[in-house]
Structure 1
Protein backbone atom coordinates (compact mmCIF):
# COMPACT_ATOMS: atom_id res chain seq x y z
CA UNK A 1 0.00 0.00 0.00
CA UNK A 2 1.38 3.43 -0.92
CA UNK A 3 1.34 6.58 1.18
CA UNK A 4 -1.43 8.05 -0.98
CA UNK A 5 -3.57 4.92 -0.72
CA UNK A 6 -3.16 4.97 3.04
CA UNK A 7 -4.37 8.57 3.23
CA UNK A 8 -7.49 7.64 1.29
CA UNK A 9 -8.41 4.70 3.48
CA UNK A 10 -7.80 6.25 6.89
CA UNK A 11 -10.93 7.17 8.88
CA UNK A 12 -11.26 10.59 10.40
CA UNK A 13 -9.38 10.91 13.65
CA UNK A 14 -11.43 10.93 16.81
CA UNK A 15 -11.82 14.12 18.75
CA UNK A 16 -9.53 12.86 21.49
CA UNK A 17 -6.68 11.94 19.11
CA UNK A 18 -3.32 13.47 19.92
CA UNK A 19 -1.22 14.22 16.87
CA UNK A 20 2.56 14.23 16.56
CA UNK A 21 2.74 18.03 16.79
CA UNK A 22 1.06 17.95 20.20
CA UNK A 23 2.48 14.74 21.69
CA UNK A 24 4.70 15.27 24.73
CA UNK A 25 6.68 12.12 23.83
CA UNK A 26 7.71 13.39 20.39
CA UNK A 27 11.32 14.03 21.42
CA UNK A 28 11.74 10.36 22.36
CA UNK A 29 9.78 8.84 19.51
CA UNK A 30 10.04 8.63 15.71
CA UNK A 31 9.01 12.29 15.03
CA UNK A 32 12.15 13.64 16.75
CA UNK A 33 14.21 15.94 14.41
CA UNK A 34 11.51 16.14 11.71
CA UNK A 35 10.43 19.54 10.40
CA UNK A 36 6.78 20.60 10.25
CA UNK A 37 6.11 19.31 6.72
CA UNK A 38 7.78 15.96 7.42
CA UNK A 39 5.85 15.69 10.67
CA UNK A 40 2.59 16.19 8.80
CA UNK A 41 3.46 13.40 6.36
CA UNK A 42 4.31 11.03 9.20
CA UNK A 43 1.17 12.02 11.06
CA UNK A 44 -0.94 11.12 8.02
CA UNK A 45 0.08 7.45 8.12
CA UNK A 46 -0.32 6.89 11.86
CA UNK A 47 -3.38 5.07 13.14
CA UNK A 48 -4.52 5.90 16.66
CA UNK A 49 -6.54 3.13 18.20
CA UNK A 50 -8.72 2.77 21.26
CA UNK A 51 -6.98 2.21 24.61
CA UNK A 52 -5.35 -1.18 25.05
CA UNK A 53 -6.53 -2.80 28.26
CA UNK A 54 -4.32 -4.45 30.86
CA UNK A 55 -3.40 -7.96 29.73
CA UNK A 56 -4.25 -7.30 26.07
CA UNK A 57 -1.63 -8.27 23.50
CA UNK A 58 -0.46 -5.85 20.82
CA UNK A 59 1.25 -8.55 18.78
CA UNK A 60 2.27 -12.17 19.25
CA UNK A 61 5.30 -14.20 18.26
CA UNK A 62 4.81 -15.44 14.71
CA UNK A 63 2.50 -12.61 13.69
CA UNK A 64 3.41 -11.00 10.34
CA UNK A 65 5.10 -7.63 10.73
CA UNK A 66 2.52 -5.06 9.69
CA UNK A 67 3.29 -2.11 11.94
CA UNK A 68 5.57 -0.59 14.51
CA UNK A 69 3.90 0.75 17.65
CA UNK A 70 4.80 3.98 19.43
CA UNK A 71 3.64 4.02 23.04
CA UNK A 72 1.79 7.21 23.97
CA UNK A 73 0.97 6.21 27.53
CA UNK A 74 1.13 3.17 29.76
CA UNK A 75 3.58 0.30 30.06
CA UNK A 76 4.11 -2.65 27.73
CA UNK A 77 6.16 -5.75 28.47
CA UNK A 78 7.83 -7.81 25.77
CA UNK A 79 8.54 -11.48 26.28
CA UNK A 80 9.28 -14.77 24.58
CA UNK A 81 8.23 -18.32 25.40
CA UNK A 82 11.03 -20.82 26.03
CA UNK A 83 11.11 -24.37 24.67
CA UNK A 84 9.90 -25.49 28.10
CA UNK A 85 6.86 -23.23 27.77
CA UNK A 86 8.05 -20.64 30.29
CA UNK A 87 7.68 -16.91 29.84
CA UNK A 88 10.92 -14.92 29.62
CA UNK A 89 10.49 -11.17 29.85
CA UNK A 90 12.85 -9.23 27.58
CA UNK A 91 11.83 -5.64 28.23
CA UNK A 92 9.52 -3.09 29.82
CA UNK A 93 8.52 -0.27 27.48
CA UNK A 94 7.26 3.15 28.56
CA UNK A 95 5.64 6.12 26.84
CA UNK A 96 7.88 7.32 24.02
CA UNK A 97 9.28 3.87 23.25
CA UNK A 98 8.71 2.21 19.89
CA UNK A 99 8.16 -1.55 19.74
CA UNK A 100 8.01 -4.08 16.93
CA UNK A 101 11.57 -3.85 15.56
CA UNK A 102 12.03 -7.55 16.31
CA UNK A 103 9.90 -8.40 13.29
CA UNK A 104 11.92 -6.59 10.62
CA UNK A 105 14.49 -9.29 9.79
CA UNK A 106 12.10 -12.19 9.12
CA UNK A 107 8.99 -10.02 8.62
CA UNK A 108 7.56 -11.95 11.58
CA UNK A 109 7.45 -10.84 15.20
CA UNK A 110 9.80 -12.88 17.37
CA UNK A 111 8.24 -11.90 20.70
CA UNK A 112 4.97 -11.01 22.41
CA UNK A 113 3.95 -7.51 23.53
CA UNK A 114 1.38 -7.18 26.32
CA UNK A 115 -0.04 -4.19 28.19
CA UNK A 116 0.71 -4.07 31.92
CA UNK A 117 -1.87 -1.32 32.39
CA UNK A 118 -4.33 0.58 30.23
CA UNK A 119 -2.14 1.97 27.45
CA UNK A 120 -2.37 4.04 24.28
CA UNK A 121 -0.29 3.34 21.19
CA UNK A 122 0.14 4.85 17.75
CA UNK A 123 0.22 2.18 15.04
CA UNK A 124 2.64 2.98 12.22
CA UNK A 125 2.29 0.77 9.11
CA UNK A 126 5.81 -0.49 8.49
CA UNK A 127 5.79 -0.67 4.68
CA UNK A 128 4.55 2.90 4.40
CA UNK A 129 7.03 4.07 7.05
CA UNK A 130 9.81 2.34 5.11
CA UNK A 131 8.69 4.08 1.92
CA UNK A 132 8.50 7.43 3.68
CA UNK A 133 11.94 7.04 5.26
CA UNK A 134 13.39 6.68 1.75
CA UNK A 135 12.47 10.31 1.08
CA UNK A 136 13.29 11.65 4.56
CA UNK A 137 16.90 11.22 5.70
CA UNK A 138 16.09 12.53 9.19
CA UNK A 139 13.31 9.98 9.59
CA UNK A 140 15.59 7.17 8.44
CA UNK A 141 18.31 8.31 10.85
CA UNK A 142 15.88 8.43 13.77
CA UNK A 143 14.63 4.91 13.05
CA UNK A 144 18.25 3.74 13.00
CA UNK A 145 18.89 5.52 16.31
CA UNK A 146 15.94 3.76 17.90
CA UNK A 147 17.11 0.40 16.59
CA UNK A 148 20.65 1.11 17.80
CA UNK A 149 19.33 1.96 21.25
CA UNK A 150 17.53 -1.40 21.32
CA UNK A 151 20.77 -3.20 20.45
CA UNK A 152 22.64 -1.30 23.18
CA UNK A 153 19.94 -2.19 25.68
CA UNK A 154 20.25 -5.87 24.81
CA UNK A 155 24.03 -5.74 25.22
CA UNK A 156 23.75 -4.00 28.58
CA UNK A 157 21.18 -6.52 29.76
CA UNK A 158 23.56 -9.37 28.89
CA UNK A 159 26.27 -7.61 30.92
CA UNK A 160 23.88 -7.09 33.82
CA UNK A 161 22.85 -10.74 33.96
CA UNK A 162 26.34 -12.16 33.45
CA UNK A 163 28.47 -9.86 35.63
CA UNK A 164 26.22 -8.36 38.33
CA UNK A 165 25.03 -9.90 41.58
CA UNK A 166 21.40 -9.78 42.72
CA UNK A 167 21.73 -6.47 44.62
CA UNK A 168 23.43 -4.76 41.70
CA UNK A 169 20.82 -6.01 39.23
CA UNK A 170 17.87 -4.69 41.20
CA UNK A 171 19.63 -1.40 42.00
CA UNK A 172 20.38 -0.91 38.30
CA UNK A 173 16.78 -1.71 37.38
CA UNK A 174 15.31 0.82 39.84
CA UNK A 175 17.88 3.51 39.02
CA UNK A 176 17.39 3.22 35.28
CA UNK A 177 13.62 3.12 35.60
CA UNK A 178 13.84 6.37 37.58
CA UNK A 179 16.00 7.94 34.87
CA UNK A 180 13.57 6.84 32.17
CA UNK A 181 10.65 8.40 34.03
CA UNK A 182 12.68 11.59 34.43
CA UNK A 183 13.45 11.71 30.71
CA UNK A 184 9.71 11.61 30.05
CA UNK A 185 8.93 14.56 32.29
CA UNK A 186 7.72 12.47 35.24
CA UNK A 187 9.18 12.37 38.72
CA UNK A 188 12.45 10.40 38.81
CA UNK A 189 12.15 10.19 42.59
CA UNK A 190 8.63 8.84 43.15
CA UNK A 191 6.90 6.44 40.80
CA UNK A 192 4.65 3.40 40.65
CA UNK A 193 5.87 0.01 39.50
CA UNK A 194 3.40 -1.17 36.88
CA UNK A 195 5.06 -4.57 36.73
CA UNK A 196 4.72 -7.22 39.44
CA UNK A 197 7.64 -8.36 41.54
CA UNK A 198 7.36 -11.65 39.70
CA UNK A 199 7.83 -9.80 36.40
CA UNK A 200 10.85 -7.93 37.77
CA UNK A 201 12.36 -11.17 39.02
CA UNK A 202 11.73 -12.87 35.70
CA UNK A 203 13.43 -10.02 33.84
CA UNK A 204 16.44 -9.91 36.17
CA UNK A 205 16.83 -13.67 36.56
CA UNK A 206 15.90 -13.57 40.26
CA UNK A 207 13.15 -15.15 42.34
CA UNK A 208 10.17 -13.23 43.70
CA UNK A 209 11.47 -13.91 47.21
CA UNK A 210 14.84 -12.38 46.34
CA UNK A 211 13.20 -9.26 44.91
CA UNK A 212 11.07 -8.81 48.05
CA UNK A 213 14.04 -9.39 50.34
CA UNK A 214 16.24 -6.92 48.46
CA UNK A 215 13.56 -4.23 48.42
CA UNK A 216 13.33 -4.60 52.19
CA UNK A 217 17.11 -4.40 52.48
CA UNK A 218 17.29 -1.29 50.30
CA UNK A 219 14.63 0.34 52.47
CA UNK A 220 16.46 -0.49 55.70
CA UNK A 221 19.66 0.91 54.19
CA UNK A 222 17.96 4.23 53.43
CA UNK A 223 18.21 3.90 49.66
CA UNK A 224 14.49 3.75 48.92
CA UNK A 225 11.06 3.71 50.52
CA UNK A 226 8.55 1.08 49.43
CA UNK A 227 4.78 1.35 49.85
CA UNK A 228 3.07 -1.38 47.88
CA UNK A 229 3.82 -0.67 44.23
CA UNK A 230 5.11 2.83 44.94
CA UNK A 231 8.84 3.52 45.12
CA UNK A 232 10.49 6.65 46.53
CA UNK A 233 14.21 7.00 45.92
CA UNK A 234 15.83 8.47 49.02
CA UNK A 235 19.50 8.28 48.02
CA UNK A 236 19.91 8.16 44.25
CA UNK A 237 23.69 8.55 44.43
CA UNK A 238 24.18 5.51 46.64
CA UNK A 239 21.70 3.55 44.54
CA UNK A 240 23.75 4.38 41.44
CA UNK A 241 26.95 3.33 43.17
CA UNK A 242 25.42 0.01 44.13
CA UNK A 243 24.19 -0.44 40.56
CA UNK A 244 27.67 0.15 39.22
CA UNK A 245 26.27 2.79 36.86
CA UNK A 246 24.74 0.14 34.60
CA UNK A 247 22.47 1.63 31.95
CA UNK A 248 19.67 -0.60 30.78
CA UNK A 249 17.28 1.44 28.68
CA UNK A 250 14.58 -1.20 28.83
Structure 2
Protein backbone atom coordinates (compact mmCIF):
# COMPACT_ATOMS: atom_id res chain seq x y z
CA UNK A 1 0.00 0.00 0.00
CA UNK A 2 1.26 3.45 -0.86
CA UNK A 3 2.04 5.57 2.18
CA UNK A 4 1.50 9.33 2.17
CA UNK A 5 4.56 11.39 1.43
CA UNK A 6 6.04 13.50 4.18
CA UNK A 7 6.56 17.19 3.69
CA UNK A 8 10.23 17.96 3.06
CA UNK A 9 12.07 20.85 4.61
CA UNK A 10 11.34 24.04 2.70
CA UNK A 11 14.46 25.06 0.80
CA UNK A 12 14.27 27.62 -1.95
CA UNK A 13 15.49 27.08 -5.50
CA UNK A 14 18.47 29.34 -4.82
CA UNK A 15 19.58 27.06 -1.96
CA UNK A 16 19.21 23.82 -3.90
CA UNK A 17 22.33 21.99 -5.04
CA UNK A 18 20.62 21.22 -8.36
CA UNK A 19 20.21 24.89 -9.20
CA UNK A 20 22.52 24.78 -12.23
CA UNK A 21 20.98 21.56 -13.57
CA UNK A 22 17.29 22.05 -12.89
CA UNK A 23 16.94 25.73 -13.87
CA UNK A 24 17.92 27.62 -17.02
CA UNK A 25 20.89 29.94 -17.03
CA UNK A 26 20.28 33.62 -16.42
CA UNK A 27 17.37 33.37 -13.95
CA UNK A 28 17.74 36.34 -11.60
CA UNK A 29 16.65 36.62 -7.97
CA UNK A 30 13.21 37.83 -8.98
CA UNK A 31 12.76 34.82 -11.23
CA UNK A 32 13.90 32.46 -8.49
CA UNK A 33 11.40 34.03 -6.10
CA UNK A 34 8.60 33.47 -8.60
CA UNK A 35 9.67 29.85 -9.04
CA UNK A 36 9.67 29.36 -5.27
CA UNK A 37 6.14 30.71 -5.02
CA UNK A 38 5.07 28.49 -7.89
CA UNK A 39 6.39 25.27 -6.38
CA UNK A 40 3.42 23.94 -4.43
CA UNK A 41 5.27 21.49 -2.23
CA UNK A 42 8.44 19.56 -1.74
CA UNK A 43 7.59 16.10 -0.52
CA UNK A 44 9.61 13.11 0.58
CA UNK A 45 8.68 9.57 -0.43
CA UNK A 46 9.99 6.37 1.08
CA UNK A 47 11.01 3.35 -0.98
CA UNK A 48 7.96 1.88 -2.71
CA UNK A 49 5.80 4.98 -2.32
CA UNK A 50 3.92 6.18 -5.38
CA UNK A 51 4.52 9.70 -6.67
CA UNK A 52 1.60 9.24 -9.07
CA UNK A 53 -0.25 6.35 -10.66
CA UNK A 54 -1.25 5.48 -14.18
CA UNK A 55 -4.68 6.94 -14.97
CA UNK A 56 -4.56 9.74 -12.41
CA UNK A 57 -5.44 13.26 -13.65
CA UNK A 58 -2.45 15.41 -14.56
CA UNK A 59 -2.11 18.57 -12.51
CA UNK A 60 1.59 19.03 -11.98
CA UNK A 61 5.07 18.14 -13.11
CA UNK A 62 7.57 16.76 -10.61
CA UNK A 63 11.29 17.42 -10.37
CA UNK A 64 13.40 14.85 -8.53
CA UNK A 65 15.43 16.66 -5.90
CA UNK A 66 17.11 13.66 -4.29
CA UNK A 67 16.85 9.89 -4.57
CA UNK A 68 15.53 8.08 -7.65
CA UNK A 69 12.19 7.13 -9.20
CA UNK A 70 11.17 4.19 -11.40
CA UNK A 71 8.76 4.91 -14.25
CA UNK A 72 6.74 1.90 -15.42
CA UNK A 73 3.75 1.09 -17.58
CA UNK A 74 1.19 -1.45 -16.37
CA UNK A 75 -1.20 -3.59 -18.39
CA UNK A 76 -4.54 -5.24 -17.75
CA UNK A 77 -3.09 -8.38 -16.15
CA UNK A 78 -1.15 -6.37 -13.57
CA UNK A 79 2.33 -6.84 -14.99
CA UNK A 80 4.59 -3.85 -15.51
CA UNK A 81 7.24 -2.82 -18.00
CA UNK A 82 9.94 -0.53 -16.63
CA UNK A 83 10.38 2.41 -19.00
CA UNK A 84 13.12 4.29 -17.21
CA UNK A 85 14.56 5.80 -14.07
CA UNK A 86 14.64 9.44 -13.01
CA UNK A 87 17.55 10.92 -11.08
CA UNK A 88 17.98 14.30 -9.32
CA UNK A 89 17.31 17.27 -11.57
CA UNK A 90 15.13 15.23 -13.94
CA UNK A 91 11.42 15.76 -14.56
CA UNK A 92 8.55 13.34 -14.01
CA UNK A 93 5.14 13.40 -15.66
CA UNK A 94 5.92 14.91 -19.05
CA UNK A 95 4.08 12.04 -20.80
CA UNK A 96 0.83 13.24 -19.18
CA UNK A 97 0.91 16.41 -21.31
CA UNK A 98 -0.61 14.35 -24.13
CA UNK A 99 -4.10 14.02 -22.66
CA UNK A 100 -3.91 15.42 -19.11
CA UNK A 101 -3.71 11.91 -17.65
CA UNK A 102 -0.69 10.15 -16.20
CA UNK A 103 0.15 7.29 -18.53
CA UNK A 104 2.67 5.60 -16.22
CA UNK A 105 3.36 4.75 -12.58
CA UNK A 106 6.14 6.65 -10.82
CA UNK A 107 7.52 4.87 -7.75
CA UNK A 108 10.32 5.91 -5.38
CA UNK A 109 13.24 3.48 -5.47
CA UNK A 110 14.70 4.85 -2.24
CA UNK A 111 14.08 7.79 0.03
CA UNK A 112 13.27 10.48 -2.54
CA UNK A 113 12.35 14.15 -2.44
CA UNK A 114 10.47 15.79 -5.31
CA UNK A 115 9.33 19.33 -6.06
CA UNK A 116 5.74 19.54 -7.32
CA UNK A 117 5.11 22.26 -9.91
CA UNK A 118 1.44 22.98 -10.85
CA UNK A 119 1.40 23.02 -14.64
CA UNK A 120 -1.37 25.59 -15.08
CA UNK A 121 0.69 28.15 -13.19
CA UNK A 122 3.87 27.06 -14.94
CA UNK A 123 2.41 28.08 -18.30
CA UNK A 124 1.99 31.64 -16.99
CA UNK A 125 5.56 31.64 -15.73
CA UNK A 126 6.81 30.61 -19.19
CA UNK A 127 5.72 34.03 -20.42
CA UNK A 128 7.66 35.75 -17.67
CA UNK A 129 10.77 33.55 -17.95
CA UNK A 130 11.31 32.47 -21.58
CA UNK A 131 14.46 30.60 -20.56
CA UNK A 132 12.33 28.29 -18.44
CA UNK A 133 10.28 27.32 -21.49
CA UNK A 134 13.45 26.57 -23.44
CA UNK A 135 14.62 24.45 -20.52
CA UNK A 136 11.37 22.47 -20.69
CA UNK A 137 11.86 21.91 -24.42
CA UNK A 138 15.33 20.54 -23.72
CA UNK A 139 13.87 18.19 -21.12
CA UNK A 140 11.35 16.96 -23.69
CA UNK A 141 14.25 16.36 -26.05
CA UNK A 142 16.10 14.51 -23.28
CA UNK A 143 13.13 12.16 -22.85
CA UNK A 144 13.12 11.44 -26.58
CA UNK A 145 16.88 10.78 -26.48
CA UNK A 146 16.44 8.44 -23.50
CA UNK A 147 13.75 6.54 -25.40
CA UNK A 148 16.06 6.25 -28.40
CA UNK A 149 18.86 4.88 -26.23
CA UNK A 150 16.42 2.37 -24.77
CA UNK A 151 15.44 1.20 -28.25
CA UNK A 152 19.13 0.94 -29.16
CA UNK A 153 19.81 -1.21 -26.11
CA UNK A 154 16.79 -3.43 -26.75
CA UNK A 155 17.98 -3.94 -30.32
CA UNK A 156 21.27 -5.46 -29.22
CA UNK A 157 21.19 -9.24 -29.37
CA UNK A 158 23.83 -9.75 -26.69
CA UNK A 159 22.77 -9.24 -23.08
CA UNK A 160 26.28 -8.04 -22.21
CA UNK A 161 25.92 -5.14 -24.62
CA UNK A 162 22.48 -4.20 -23.29
CA UNK A 163 23.76 -4.06 -19.73
CA UNK A 164 26.88 -2.14 -20.82
CA UNK A 165 24.76 0.47 -22.61
CA UNK A 166 22.57 0.84 -19.55
CA UNK A 167 25.55 1.34 -17.23
CA UNK A 168 27.26 3.79 -19.57
CA UNK A 169 24.07 5.87 -19.79
CA UNK A 170 23.74 5.89 -16.01
CA UNK A 171 27.35 6.98 -15.55
CA UNK A 172 26.86 9.80 -18.06
CA UNK A 173 23.91 11.03 -16.01
CA UNK A 174 26.00 10.86 -12.84
CA UNK A 175 28.65 12.89 -14.65
CA UNK A 176 26.02 15.55 -15.26
CA UNK A 177 25.29 15.60 -11.52
CA UNK A 178 29.04 15.89 -10.78
CA UNK A 179 28.85 12.63 -8.83
CA UNK A 180 31.78 10.22 -8.60
CA UNK A 181 31.54 7.55 -11.28
CA UNK A 182 34.39 5.29 -10.25
CA UNK A 183 32.37 3.90 -7.32
CA UNK A 184 28.58 4.06 -7.53
CA UNK A 185 25.56 2.59 -5.78
CA UNK A 186 22.72 1.62 -8.11
CA UNK A 187 19.37 2.98 -6.84
CA UNK A 188 17.53 0.25 -8.73
CA UNK A 189 17.73 -3.49 -8.16
CA UNK A 190 18.72 -6.05 -10.77
CA UNK A 191 15.09 -7.05 -11.26
CA UNK A 192 14.26 -3.49 -12.35
CA UNK A 193 17.28 -3.40 -14.66
CA UNK A 194 16.25 -6.75 -16.12
CA UNK A 195 12.68 -5.56 -16.74
CA UNK A 196 13.95 -2.36 -18.34
CA UNK A 197 16.29 -4.27 -20.67
CA UNK A 198 13.96 -7.18 -21.44
CA UNK A 199 16.25 -9.72 -19.78
CA UNK A 200 16.05 -12.27 -16.97
CA UNK A 201 17.51 -11.26 -13.62
CA UNK A 202 20.01 -14.11 -13.86
CA UNK A 203 21.12 -12.82 -17.26
CA UNK A 204 21.85 -9.38 -15.84
CA UNK A 205 23.89 -10.98 -13.05
CA UNK A 206 25.86 -13.08 -15.56
CA UNK A 207 26.57 -9.99 -17.67
CA UNK A 208 27.95 -8.17 -14.64
CA UNK A 209 30.01 -11.27 -13.82
CA UNK A 210 31.52 -11.25 -17.31
CA UNK A 211 32.39 -7.57 -16.90
CA UNK A 212 34.18 -8.45 -13.68
CA UNK A 213 36.13 -11.19 -15.50
CA UNK A 214 37.15 -8.68 -18.17
CA UNK A 215 38.34 -6.16 -15.58
CA UNK A 216 35.64 -3.60 -16.41
CA UNK A 217 34.18 -3.39 -12.91
CA UNK A 218 33.69 -5.07 -9.55
CA UNK A 219 30.15 -5.68 -8.31
CA UNK A 220 28.93 -6.26 -4.76
CA UNK A 221 25.16 -6.12 -4.54
CA UNK A 222 24.14 -2.69 -5.79
CA UNK A 223 27.63 -1.28 -5.37
CA UNK A 224 29.80 -1.05 -8.46
CA UNK A 225 33.43 -0.02 -8.73
CA UNK A 226 34.28 0.96 -12.29
CA UNK A 227 37.89 0.04 -13.11
CA UNK A 228 38.02 0.63 -16.87
CA UNK A 229 35.42 2.97 -18.33
CA UNK A 230 37.13 2.70 -21.69
CA UNK A 231 36.45 -1.04 -21.69
CA UNK A 232 32.81 -0.34 -20.84
CA UNK A 233 32.62 2.01 -23.82
CA UNK A 234 34.17 -0.68 -26.01
CA UNK A 235 31.49 -3.19 -24.98
CA UNK A 236 28.82 -0.69 -26.01
CA UNK A 237 30.36 -0.30 -29.46
CA UNK A 238 30.99 -3.97 -30.17
CA UNK A 239 27.64 -4.85 -31.67
CA UNK A 240 27.35 -1.65 -33.69
CA UNK A 241 30.76 -2.29 -35.23
CA UNK A 242 29.75 -5.85 -36.11
CA UNK A 243 26.56 -4.60 -37.77
CA UNK A 244 28.51 -2.15 -39.94
CA UNK A 245 30.91 -4.89 -41.06
CA UNK A 246 28.02 -7.17 -42.02
CA UNK A 247 26.45 -4.40 -44.08
Q: How does 1:1-250 map to 2 (within 5 A)?
A: 16-163=9-156, 165-244=158-237
Aligned mates of 1:58, 1:218 — CA distance in 2:
34
More displaced, 79-88 or 230-239? 79-88
Aligned mates of 1:216, 1:49 — CA distance in 2:
40
The Cα shift of 1:231 comes to 0.3
The Cα shift of 1:46 comes to 0.6
CA RMSD between the two structures? 1.8
The Cα shift of 1:212 comes to 0.8
Structure with higher helix content: 2
The Cα shift of 1:151 comes to 1.1
**2:8, 2:44 within 8 Å by CA — same for their partners in 1?**
no
Aligned mates of 1:32, 1:95 — CA distance in 2:
18
Aligned mates of 2:219, 2:186 — CA distance in 1:
10
1:159-195 deviation per Cα after TM superposition (whole angstroms, max 9, x unaligned): 2212452111101111221221222121111111121
The gaps in structure 1 that reach 5 residues or longer are 1-13
**1:32, 1:142 within 8 Å by CA — same for their partners in 2?**
no
**2:183, 2:224 within 8 Å by CA — same for their partners in 1?**
yes
**2:8, 2:43 within 8 Å by CA — same for their partners in 1?**
no
**2:165, 2:236 within 8 Å by CA — same for their partners in 1?**
yes
Aligned mates of 2:238, 2:71 — CA distance in 1:
24
Aligned mates of 2:66, 2:238 — CA distance in 1:
27
The Cα shift of 1:229 comes to 1.2
**1:225, 1:232 within 8 Å by CA — same for their partners in 2?**
yes
Scaled by the length of structure 2, the TM-score of the pair is 0.89
Aligned mates of 2:238, 2:176 — CA distance in 1:
17
The Cα shift of 1:36 comes to 2.3
Scaled by the length of structure 1, the TM-score of the pair is 0.88
CA distance 1:191–1:141, shift in 2 (3 Å):
same
